[in-house]
A and B are shown apart, each in its own frame.
Chain A
Amino acid sequence: MLVKENLGPADFERLVDEENATASRLIFTDQSIFELEQEKLFTKAWLYIGHETEIPDEGDYVTRQMATDPVILSRGAHGKIHVLLNSCSHRGTLLCTSDVGSTKGFVCAYHGWVFGLDGSLKATADDMDLYAGKVDFKNLDLKTAARVDTYAGLIFATWDDGAPDLADYLGDARWYLDLFHNRTPEGMEVLGAPHRWVVNTNWKLGAMNFGADGPHAVKVHGPITAATFQVPPTVFRDALVESPAVSMGNGHNGIVTQVPDSLKDQIPPYFGFNPDLMEVYEKHLNPQQNELNRHLIAGVTTMFPNFSSVQGASTFEMDKMPVNFLAIRVWQPVSATQTEIWNWFLVEKEASDEWKQASMLAGVRTFTAGGTFDQDDAEAWVGIAKGIEGNIARQGDVNFQMALAYRDRTIPGFPGPGKVYPSNYGEVTEFDILLEWQKYMKA
């Protein structure tokens, strides 16, 4: 329900107020804005589809979403990766109904048309001759993503022929993705099937929270942090306040929370990282990247528009060393006020079986629907959707004005690229996601 139909650039100029660091609440509730997002953003941007290790061999496939469109991610001949619209080119039936599998091709359940792993139409059920030469079957291949590319095992696709190369789209964010996805020669692998759950709120709230919302962490996650690390909330807060937040460009944002100086003698380097691989990290990444990883407590990022990742260490036994988990997720837009979260856990391929198991447990006990961190976040995001839906409430703003205090304070001499701000509390990087969103919506 929007005040006005046919929103144009001037409207989007108003809906996110850069100068004032606020945004209209309508962008989180309004269904016509949601529909415009589908058109202007999700058909243009590079979207995360899956991980190379989910489809290791020819014939492997998984079914995925690109926003509201179902797609098949498959590996065809010569290891080539394909992203196919999961909708039969005959009458549109959902073609592949399995979450995961391995096959030579896809057979439609309705009239039996057969498609190859690359989406090409192989045969119609009845003899193709019955069409008496009137139909050019070339036009009846499955629709495929315009471009598919990977970075560090992460598979992305876009519907836009004119999109920049993935390498350029990610840009400086690749330097930060390396910290998590590219720190060993073999790289990362997924630990299992994606977790999926539905949260009744707008997808941008999750993307922004991971881009990242420093100030919520002590309020929402203080108790679990205190219980699992016995870190008092004041120390937790100081680490966040004093740790950098990065705008990597093109709407990619995040925080890299560092061990505070006051604790550096108590917390050893590579806290939570795999001790067997420390030398491998040092060799594989460059010295500046190692400098950041050595004292990393948590890394939380969003690659625009809706691909996020979180790394942290956790232990649920005080006498055991904390173990890092790495979770990646997509905030799939379902409607203006509904999001389906897809969440995977990753670990270094080189890790021992014991380490993989320990890292998996550290992840599933913290960052998923039932996770001790995520369960509390979701409540707050649903609360926002409820709080701003009414006639009076939706006329107000969502506030990011800590940015006013921080946006001119970039840190010189930081080891990594991008615009680096001195605090996880700054709200600058979260708000930057909305500024990028605004560019797409105005275009």
Chain B
Amino acid sequence: MADMDADTAAHTEPSVEEEEPFFSNLDLLLFSLIVGLVVYWYMSRKKPEPIPEFKKLDTAAPAARETSFIEKMKKTGKNIIVFYGSQTGTGEEFANRLSKDAQRYGMKGMAADPEEYEMAELARLSQIENSLAIFCMATYGEGDPTDNAQDFYDWLQEIDDEDLSGLNYTVFALGNKTYEHYNAMGKYVDKRLEELGAKRIFDLGLGDDDGNLEEDFVSWREQFWPSVCEHFGVEASGDDSSIRQYELKEHTDLNMNKVYSGEMGRLKSFEVQKPPYDSKNPFLAPVTVNRKLNKAGDRHLMHVELDITGSKIRYDSGDHVAVFPTNDSAMVNKLGQILGVDLDVVISLNNLDEESNKKHPFPCPTTYRTALTHYLDISQPPPHQRPLRAGPGKALYHSWVQGACRNILAILEDMPSLRPPVDHLCELLPRLQARYYSIASSSKVHPDRISICAVVVEYETPTGRTNKGVATNWLKNKLVTDNGHKSTVPMFIRKSQFRLPFKTTNPVIMIGPGTGIAPFMGFIQERGWLKEQGKEVGETVLYFGCRYKNEDYIYQEELEEAEKKGVLTQLNIAFSRDQEQKVYVQHLLKNSKEHLWKLIHSDNAHIYVCGDAKNMAKDVQTALQDIAEELGGMTRTQATDYVKKLMTKGRYSQDVWT
């Protein structure tokens, strides 16, 4: 077995563990959106050219040997061959899908097991016009090939004088990031073929089975085909169905009871609520409190309480509550207007790839209005868009969309020539994701309610627009009673590992500036409750930070009360802007380093960090390493390891987001 230590692997990754899947997902979806729009835009300017035909090239070939893939390709009129190195079938499945894809682009492909063919023939593939070899290669063991690719691998290693200069190729690698030799086989084939003179016509794709291999593959493939078409100078077959993943079906006579109106899983699950509640079946929790926390300043920090009475939902302090927001109806209407469509048409988008287990991009049948309100993200500008490799839209999209924080509405407003069909847009837009909040209450004290502490996101874009955060603005407007109706929030709980120590006597050190205080409000409630129960409770130290004492020192009364009662044994607050020089939580950590070190090193304290992942969490970690180095008499490396080990052993926990 290879080195699969999950913890070690994770050390090389950003510490934003919680957030990562969400963002890579988003990246992917946004990327396909951009590519889709570019392709659409590009194609809509040009008349489709006739599709070249890849007819049988050589019908008079002599009876071919079974091991000659060239003969087989010639006989069957194929120009693309997809080799797979696969042990458990994923690579083979991808190869089959790629070979089927080819048809949609006016080419013909076949999947092939390298073990069954004479691979030295690769040097002669150029005999076939517009030919291309694709390799789907999985990695095993210690960066080894699969059994069926072993001979191919050996051959690649042995040949030195082979000239593969006529060979067009591309590689998609299948692997798993938790292994030390991540995608070694795919990378090797990609590099080696280039060394031997072959022409890489599209960049290596890296699939990570630890993340989402299917999505890695799909996004690679979506970029790959347009690039192949471009390379061979062919247009993808005529109409743009060739680049569509879903097929539109309009329903005219469907009973509205069969139409999704925002449910995540079961139809009508919002009308007839049934536990257990989860991401497919969220609970509609009434909002019982919604108040502004900050005393002044132009931001809006809020405390929201959700009533979970009767839901059978249980939570622990430190868990996350997920909420499903909806988009601003004015924005949805505007989209409908710009695109000139009736938003109340009932539709389904059905996957053209029948093998895919994702039948629809979002629950169908539904209306465009519901899709754009509940299921699709229409307000997020692409945050970290991967650079576009080629194509006419590169410069345009990169700075124009990302740089200027344009969301889809802004894009359509500023680019009147771009009017994609609304169903195509629905296919390309990313899914609207649930938003997570660290629960700011303790179930010991409040078993029937869940508190959220959040800051409303609102910012100016370079084009002079105001972008508003979807969930926080929606939450802000969830008044306790709305025209006599209770406001409700679709929510579910996600368990976390951010937990108070089991032994109440163990000290806890909580570090959470800004909204990072959220879970600690729950922790403090719980430690207070334990004290009231007569339990002996260890030291409870809080490091909080905000901008100004008189503006955003949130929960001031509660915190000072807890300190008075001795629940908080230390309340340290860094007001960053009340003086010339910035004062942050990490500065206060340094100020009380002796005591901290004793708590950590001798008294088994648990450290908790919550809030901003980008800078704060890293700076705090560095500060703690400095303290270990100084007071523990360690070298830098030892101090770094010391802190890492605290993490591995669950004594240094982070609940951070970007």
Question: Do A and B assemble together?
Answer: no
- Residues of B with Cβ closer than 8 Å to A? none
